[in-house]
Amino acid sequence: MPANGIALIDKPAGFTSHDVVAKLRGVLKTKKVGHAGTLDPEATGLLVIGVGQGTKLMTYISGASKSYSAKVLLGKSTTTDDAQGEVLESADKSEIQNVDQAQLEKTVETFMGRQMQLPSKVSAKKIDGKKAYELVREGKEFELEPAEIEITKLEMTNFNKNEFIEFDLEVDCSSGTFIRALARDIGNSLGIGGHLTGLRRTRVGGFSVEGATEIQSAEPMSMLKAAKEILPIREVSDSEANDISFGRSLAYESEHEFLGLVHGDRLIAIASGGEKLSPKTVFND
């Protein structure tokens, strides 16, 4: 089993992202384990975990786009914008019955593209170094600022209307998009409120949950294989590899912000692009 690389874990419900990291340290017998992109305890799906030197790759994954499968309930708003919170308000039955599938589909479509989104207060958004949900637990009062996000896919299925309106939503979005906030905002746009009842992350950048395993079965992929999914790659010669090992730049112009530099079957460095390639992270093993 490689000592360095990236493990793809299908997180079960009830586990925090930190729980997964802690258990992986035992399974892989290494302390150097870190994740990219927190998942709520009740959410399931893909966690990208850096192992050993693979933790240095996490920086280059943090801004990757993501995909989710979500379950939404309209007609009831909660304190946390999900099913774990206390009910704030329930819409009248007549208000709910007045919303049909066609109206909902048109409303959902308005959330496509670039937009400003106000994060949920019970989120991992940081305020003065503390996560928002930690401040909520402490009873602190605070306000979050809207952030720009982009949603590139919204596919609604399984529409069902009884006492409330329920449906499934497939979402492709930029990093920093809160799906709970999306459920809330769809409901608010229709005047009946809404919240998230289920969430599964299916993709992070080039990594899919289909390639993920349970915690106990984790087998990190190699640094080279992982880097090929995260960054553009450039092969370097023996002399270039030697220069890189001493932290020297290469006289090679690139349009990419960052590249993985490969020598033989090894990832030897990550370099910044531009007029020359300057090593930012060098891997010695």
Q: What is the largest CA-CA distance in the chain?
A: 74
Tokens of 205: 């950048």
Instruction: Report CA torsion sign: 220, 223, 224, 226.
Output: positive
CA 276 – CA 247 distance, rounded (Å) = 13
- Three-state SS at 139: coil
Q: What gap in Å lies between CA 193 and CA 35, rounded to an integer?
A: 33
SS3 of residue 156 by DSSP: strand
What does the DSSP assignment read for 15-42?
--HHHHHHHHHHHHT-S-EEEES---TT
Tokens 């090929």 -> residue: 228
From first CA to last CA, the distance across the chain in angstroms is 15
Report the C-alpha dihedral over residues 96, 102, 104, 107, rounded to 10 degrees.
-140
- Using DSSP, state whether 94 is helix, strand or coil: helix
Rounded distance, CA 151 to CA 143, Å? 24
CA distance 62 to 48: 10
Residues 6 or more apart whose CB falls under 8 angstroms from that of 37 comprise 17, 47, 48, 61, 62, 66, 175, 201, 204
- What residues act catalytically? 40
